[in-house]
Amino acid sequence: MAARDWLFLLLYCSHPSMMAGCYLTAESGAPVAYSGGGRAISDAQILSAISPMGHPVGTCAMGRADDPMSVVDEAFKVHGIDNLFVADASVMPVIMSANTNLPTIMLAELAAERIGAQCFKE
């Protein structure tokens, strides 16, 4: 399938009035019938539908307290500040080559365990 066809399908399925049909198809298990081609999407339409995107990480990097580039420790606690924790993708020291969603969820789960253990150990 050509890139323009994928973009058309993405724009089509992201329109609110079309989402109900997409959900219904997904729930019924019926295959989605789609054939590429036949739709002209210009370069201008493509450029108007896209925007630069990044996965900001590393702004509160995890590391040792003696590392000047780190902000939080392995328990997600901010160095030098009591009762302040960071539990999102910003603790990743560097960006990974894959999507950051699942690793961020994992980090949040781990942070919840570690913060809970630290706060409720008394």
What is d(CA 55, CA 61) in angstroms, rounded to the nearest whole number? 14
User: Looking at residue 77, what DSSP letter applies?
Assistant: B
Check the CA dihedral 22-25-29-33 and report its sign: negative
Q: CB of 70 within 8 A of CB of 35? A: no
Positions marked catalytic: 55
User: Looking at residue 87, what DSSP letter applies?
Assistant: -
